[in-house]
């Protein structure tokens, strides 16, 4: 079946440090890939997406590149801020019977210290 | 700004009782999702609707869970009877696109269920 594997957290960084959160996937066909973020006390919201191989999604200084050869979609940011502290979920969406069916990873908690 | 509404926000019940959750998606959104999120894990899709029809309910425990979206707008998820293992956050999400198109999901705040 389809699955998403994320690195375990929490990831703890100092402000302005470089961030990488690893995500790999298993899926049939050509899924679309997403990163969602959940800030404390809030619902999940889409951070960025990529719909085909070699696409790069970007938003708010975060980036991720769809790598089909390594089945990966790692999240990166060059300089994190305290306000980036949240839980990050990698997800894929595959077409089944004409509709996109989503699968989420377990989430990675990011804690950024001043 | 349009949001997905869910109620109640918190629910405490005893095992073997029935519980129901309600979700009102963003107006005009054709697709509606119900997820269960156990603490420390990612959301697990329970059921996905396209308008009033079920697209996927392969992970829904149908012996105790039921979901409906009768008019293709708001939706209700029911558990009867509730078990201790059902304690979790129940999330609703909606998306604009119809079948065959990419859909960004918009999530509601969730209902936290505690079964005693």
Q: Grade residue B102 by pLDDT with cuts at 50, 70 and 90.
A: low
Q: Which of B5, B34, B42, B49 to mutate to test the interface with A (most CBs of A within 10 A)?
A: B42
Contacts of A102 in chain B (CB under 8 A): 33, 45, 105
Provide the chain A residues 1-60 that lie in CB contact (below 8 A) with chain B: 4, 32, 42-46, 49, 51
Query: How many angstroms separate the Cα of B32 from the Cα of each of A25, A111, B70, B109?
Result: 24, 32, 12, 14
Contacts of A43 in chain B (CB under 8 A): 4, 91, 107-110
Q: Give how far A42 is from chain B: nearest CA, Å.
A: 6
Beta-carbon contacts of residue B63 (< 8 Å; ≥ 6 apart) = none
Indicate if the pLDDT at residue B1 is higher than 80. no
Q: What is the pLDDT of residues B46-66, one digit of tens each?
A: 999 999 999 889 899 999 999
DSSP 8-state secondary structure symbol assigned to residue B30: -
pLDDT averaged over chain B? 92
Name the residue with higher pLDDT: B96 or A11.
Answer: A11
Tell if the CB–CB gap between B42 and A104 is shorter than 8 Å.
Answer: yes
Per-residue model confidence (pLDDT) at position A114: 95
**What mean pLDDT is predicted for residues B21-48?**
93
- Select from A44, A51, A95 the Cβ nearest to the Cβ of B107: A44
Using a pLDDT cut of 90, give the percent of chain B over it.
79
Per-residue model confidence (pLDDT) at position B57: 92
Q: Angle at CA B4, nearest 5°, toward A27 and A23?
A: 25
Per-residue model confidence (pLDDT) at position B52: 92
Tell if the CB–CB gap between A106 and B41 is shorter than 8 Å.
Answer: yes
Q: pLDDT under 50 in chain A at which residues? A: none
**HEC letters along A30-87:** CCEEEEEEECCCCCCEEEEEECCCCCEEEECCEEEECECCCCECCEEECCCCHHHCEE
Please state, in angstroms and rounded to a whole number, the distance separating the CA atoms of residues A102 and A98. 13
Indicate if the pLDDT at residue B103 is higher than 80. no
A:B CB pairs within 8 Å: 62
Per-residue model confidence (pLDDT) at position B79: 97
Three-class secondary structure of residue B78 per DSSP = strand
**What mean pLDDT is predicted for residues B24-40?**
93
Per-residue model confidence (pLDDT) at position B100: 52
Per-residue model confidence (pLDDT) at position B22: 97
């Amino acid at each position: 079946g389809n699955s998403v594997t994320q690195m375990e957290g929490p990831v703890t960084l100092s402000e302005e440090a470089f961030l990488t959160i690893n995500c790999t996937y298993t899926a049939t066909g050509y899924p679309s890939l997403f990163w969602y973020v959940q800030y404390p006390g809030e619902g999940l919201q889409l951070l960025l997406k990529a719909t085909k191989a070699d696409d790069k999604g970007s938003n708010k200084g975060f980036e991720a590149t769809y790598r089909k050869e390594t089945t990966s979609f790692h999240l990166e940011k060059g300089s994190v801020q305290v306000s980036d502290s949240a839980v990050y979920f990698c997800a894929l969406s595959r077409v089944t019977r004409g509709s996109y069916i989503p699968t989420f990873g377990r989430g990675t908690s990011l804690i950024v210290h001043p | 700004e349009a949001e997905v509404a869910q109620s109640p926000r918190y629910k405490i019940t005893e095992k073997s009782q029935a519980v129901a959750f309600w979700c009102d998606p963003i107006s005009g959104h054709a697709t509606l999702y119900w997820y269960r999120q156990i603490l420390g894990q990612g959301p697990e899709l329970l059921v996905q609707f396209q308008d009033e029809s079920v697209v996927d309910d392969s992970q829904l425990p149908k012996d105790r869970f039921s979901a409906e979206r009768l008019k293709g707008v708001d939706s209700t998820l029911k558990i009867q009877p509730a078990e201790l293992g059902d304690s979790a956050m129940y999330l609703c999400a909606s998306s604009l696109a119809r079948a065959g198109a990419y859909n960004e999901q918009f999530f509601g705040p969730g209902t936290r269920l505690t079964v005693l």
